[in-house]
Amino acid sequence: MTSRESPYPPGSAAFPHRDLVGIDVLQPHEILFLLDEAAQWVELGRRPTKHDDRLAGLTIINAFFENSTRTLLSFEIAGKRLGADVVNMHAAQSSIKKGETLIDTAMTLNAMHADAIVIRHGSSGAVQLIADKVDCPVLNAGDGQHEHPTQALLDALTIRNAKGRIDGLTVVICGDILHSRVARSNILCLTSLGARVRVCAPPALMPAGIEEMKVEVFHDFNTAIEGVDVVMMLRLQMERMEGEFIPSPREYRHLYGLTEERLARTSPDTLVMHPGPMNRGIEIDSTVADLVDRSLITRQVEMGVAIRMACLDVLTRRTRKVEGWQ
Ligand code: NCD
């Protein structure tokens, strides 16, 4: 087992959880363990031949009840690179549309003897509900406004690779914090690893009581961006908004968009991130998103596959009876 940052307990004690539903239950050394595990998969992904068949014979079901492009693709590629049989289930094809309850879906997936189930669902808590009913590891690929743990892990890996550390950095997360599971998981992950996290949003898009998550709250982006190491922009989640949350996209860009002028307020080594999908010209300008030396956006996608490989590998070690993990 590799260990670059801290000595880990051996085997299963390094990662005692069956599921990955949220960052909230992870200890800092458990997060670092997953990041370290991902390093080998970053390397594998850059080779012409990208196969490691340690999950051969295992079945992974990606059950996506909400639309997704990169997360679904990333989990699919991750499972396939590890040699598993990967099956994707889209909500549109499922019996959910015919009124099957979530519990019935869980029982059905369980009866198929999946070895890992990856779930994205529009309701916060739905993934835990399914995890409680099935016998295999469950990975949360985003549940409502709750958590998106693999996104936070891939973001942490991206930052650590670019900056060499996370501890002591200042990261500002700007945008629709209220509706964002990415923001929640990132706040938990980055603060747990010793970063200072600022959140910035118009008052209507800032959740009440967010200070309790050990973040500094800003409503003025020009102030929030000063002195930061990383700027993480979030999409306006229109599909989760009922009613008027922002005056107009134009006004929003003026106050909260990451433009070249605004980025110029930061130091030249301040890096830019966005989980995607981007609304170019609203929360982030194309000229900023495509900056070769400062934008980590495509790097995030690359790290996403590696992190998901690490999570699938680690969580199936008990099933595979890997030494020290029985
Ligand atoms: C995010 C999501 O679905 O939560 N996207 C992603 O996973 N890459 C963020 C978003 O939808 O804006």
The whole-chain average pLDDT of the chain stands at 93
The stretch 176-202 carries a mean pLDDT of 97
Contact between residue 117 and residue 155 where contact means Cβ atoms under 8 Å apart: no
Nearest 5 degrees, angle CA 122-CA 129-CA 82?
80
Position 62 scores a pLDDT of 96
Q: Could you tell me which residues come within 8 angstroms of residue 91 by beta carbon, excluding any fewer than 6 positions away?
A: 64, 65, 66, 97
The stretch 216-230 carries a mean pLDDT of 98
pLDDT for residue 95 is more than 80: no
**Centroid of ligand 1 to alpha carbon of 165 (angstroms):** 24
**Side-chain-side CA neighbours of residue 218 (13 Å):** 19
Question: Which of 151, 177, 205, 307 has most ligand 1 atoms within 8 Å of its beta carbon, as the pocket-test mutant?
Answer: 151
From the list 220, 217, 229, 228, the residue with the least C-alpha distance to 183 is: 217
Alpha helices in 112-230 (DSSP H): 126-131, 149-163, 181-192, 221-224
Question: Which of 148, 176, 181, 283 has most ligand 1 atoms within 8 Å of its beta carbon, as the pocket-test mutant?
Answer: 148
**Centroid of ligand 1 to alpha carbon of 203 (angstroms):** 21
**Centroid of ligand 1 to alpha carbon of 39 (angstroms):** 23
Q: Mean pLDDT lowest for which of 83-92, 208-217, 312-321?
A: 83-92
The stretch 163-181 carries a mean pLDDT of 97
The stretch 239-256 carries a mean pLDDT of 82
- Give the CA-trace dihedral at 32, 86, 97, 151, to 10 degrees: 20
The model carries a pTM of 0.95
**68 Cα nearest atom in ligand 1:** 3
pLDDT for residue 254 is more than 90: yes
Position 318 scores a pLDDT of 95
Q: Which residues line ligand 1 (CB under 6 A)?
A: 70-71, 142, 148, 151, 181-182, 235, 237, 275-276
Question: Which of 182, 184, 278, 284 has most ligand 1 atoms within 8 Å of its beta carbon, as the pocket-test mutant?
Answer: 182
Share of the chain above pLDDT 70, in %: 94
**235 Cα nearest atom in ligand 1:** 12
Q: Mean pLDDT lowest for which of 107-111, 134-138, 176-180, 245-249?
A: 245-249
Q: Which residue has the higher pLDDT, 47 or 236?
A: 47
- Paired sense of beta strands 138-143 and 196-200, if any: unpaired
**276 Cα nearest atom in ligand 1:** 8
Q: How does pLDDT run across 114-169, given as a tens digit for each residue? A: 999 999 999 999 999 999 999 999 999 999 999 999 999 999 999 999 999 999 99
Separation between Cα atoms, residue 262 and residue 245, nearest integer Å: 23
Which residue bears the tokens 């469950």?
Answer: 138
**Side-chain-side CA neighbours of residue 315 (13 Å):** 26
Contact between residue 165 and residue 153 where contact means Cβ atoms under 8 Å apart: no
**70 Cα nearest atom in ligand 1:** 8
Which residue bears the tokens 């992974």?
Answer: 60
Position 180 scores a pLDDT of 96
pLDDT for residue 96 is more than 70: no
Position 236 scores a pLDDT of 87
Q: Distance between terminal CA atoms of the chain?
A: 16
Longest dimension (CA), the chain: 57
Question: Which of 23, 71, 140, 185 has most ligand 1 atoms within 8 Å of its beta carbon, as the pocket-test mutant?
Answer: 71
Task: Write the single-letter amino acid at 248.
Answer: S
**Centroid of ligand 1 to alpha carbon of 128 (angstroms):** 19
The stretch 68-77 carries a mean pLDDT of 95
**120 Cα nearest atom in ligand 1:** 3
pLDDT for residue 71 is more than 70: yes
pLDDT for residue 200 is more than 70: yes
Q: How does pLDDT run across 1-21, given as a tens digit for each residue? A: 444 555 577 888 889 999 999
pLDDT for residue 99 is more than 70: no
Separation between Cα atoms, residue 121 and residue 58, nearest integer Å: 23
**Centroid of ligand 1 to alpha carbon of 153 (angstroms):** 14
Position 263 scores a pLDDT of 98
Here the tokens at position 72 are 């679904």
